[in-house]
């Protein structure tokens, strides 16, 4: 059974930093692309970033230059390092497994989701 | 900045059929955008319904179907049930690693 367990959320001041983790199990983690998706309170879902199985990363414009996504295949863990945080980064952050299409490293869809971790940016 | 558009809300009667759409602020949606659809109830993580326009995810009942209608992707629910009352999101793959969610449609079954 695929399981994704996010951790690391909490309250942080504007301008601060936070690192989220996503522990994966139930599949061969190193073989799959992974994504972060967030949802601000009362708002819709927003794609944040994706990392291919090879470690190539892509980001939404809203977080580019501030967030860094990485993976440790030896620990089956995904990370999102967030810096220069703003109030508008307040959201539940979901880790999602990416099912890629044949011939692509990141094109595809999200097939499994974690339960999310809440990040609150406030003074 | 590309915007993916969805109806903010929709209602359907129990047993009825409803079609939700997913468009682009500029241009037409085609299968090349690999449209996918997700269902979310309040306080829960999203659930994957459809991918690659019309392929159902494992365990999704066949009353959920996907298509391209005109210049939009579409999610059709046939024989709506009370527990279909949820938020529905489409996602389009824009290339270069970028995915974009639509704003979501709140579906009411009444």
Q: What is the pLDDT of residue B2?
A: 84
Q: What is the pLDDT of residue A101?
A: 87
The pLDDT tens digits of the residues spanning B7-65 come to 999 999 999 999 999 999 999 999 999 999 999 999 999 999 999 999 999 999 999 99
What residues in B contact A112, CB-CB < 8 Å? 48
Smallest CA-to-CA distance from A24 within A47, A38, A10, A7 is with A7
Cβ atoms of B101 and A45 within 8 Å: the answer is yes
Q: Does residue A123 have a pLDDT over 80?
A: yes
Would you say the C-alpha torsion A73, A74, A80, A82 has a positive or negative sign?
Answer: negative
**In this complex, is the C-beta atom of B82 within 8 Å of any C-beta atom belonging to chain A?**
no
What is the rounded average pLDDT for all residues in chain A?
97
Query: Would the CB atoms of A37 and B51 count as touching at under 8 Å?
Result: no
The pLDDT tens digits of the residues spanning A51-83 come to 999 999 999 999 999 999 999 999 999 999 999
**In this complex, is the C-beta atom of B91 within 8 Å of any C-beta atom belonging to chain A?**
yes
- Identify the H or E element spanning B51: strand B47-51
Query: Stretch B53-79: mean pLDDT, rounded?
Result: 97
Q: Does residue B1 have a pLDDT over 80?
A: no
Neighbours of A103 (CB within 10 A): 6
Within A22-109, where are the H helices? none
The three-class DSSP label of residue A43 is coil
CA dist B85 and A21 (Å) reads: 32
What is the separation of C-alpha B84 from the centre of its chain, rounded to a whole number of angstroms? 12
Residue of chain A whose Cα is closest to the Cα of B36: A109
Residue of chain B whose Cα is closest to the Cα of A49: B98
Query: Would the CB atoms of A58 and B93 count as touching at under 8 Å?
Result: no
Residue environment code for A52-71, b if the CB has 16+ CB neighbours within 10 A, otherwise e: bbeeeebbbeebeeebebeb
Question: With bands split at pLDDT 50, 70 and 90, how would you rate the model's confidence at A107?
Answer: confident
Q: What is the pLDDT of residue A104?
A: 87
Query: Stretch A105-119: mean pLDDT, rounded?
Result: 95
Q: What is the pLDDT of residue A39?
A: 98
Q: What is the pLDDT of residue B78?
A: 98
Question: With bands split at pLDDT 50, 70 and 90, how would you rate the model's confidence at A103?
Answer: confident
């Amino acid at each position: 059974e695929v399981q994704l367990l996010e951790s690391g959320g909490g309250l942080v001041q504007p301008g601060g930093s936070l690192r989220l983790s996503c522990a994966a199990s139930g599949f061969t983690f190193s073989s799959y692309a992974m994504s972060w998706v967030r949802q601000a309170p009362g708002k819709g879902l927003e794609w944040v970033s994706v990392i291919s199985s090879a470690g190539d990363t892509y980001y939404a414009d809203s977080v580019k230059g501030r967030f860094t996504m990485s993976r440790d295949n030896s620990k089956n863990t995904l990370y999102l390092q967030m810096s220069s945080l703003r109030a508008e980064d307040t959201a539940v952050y979901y880790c999602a497994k990416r099912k890629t299409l044949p011939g692509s490293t990141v094109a595809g869809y999200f097939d499994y989701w974690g339960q999310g971790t809440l990040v609150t940016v406030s003074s | 900045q590309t915007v993916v558009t969805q109806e903010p809300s929709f209602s359907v009667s129990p047993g009825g059929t409803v079609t939700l759409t997913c468009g682009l602020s500029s241009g037409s949606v085609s299968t090349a955008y690999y449209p996918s659809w997700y269902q979310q109830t309040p306080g829960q993580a999203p659930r994957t319904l459809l991918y690659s326009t019309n392929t159902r995810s494992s365990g999704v009942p066949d009353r959920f179907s996907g298509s391209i209608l005109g210049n939009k992707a579409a999610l059709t629910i046939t024989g709506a049930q009370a527990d279909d009352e949820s938020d529905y999101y489409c996602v389009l793959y824009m290339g270069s690693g970028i995915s974009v969610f639509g704003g979501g449609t709140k579906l009411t079954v009444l």
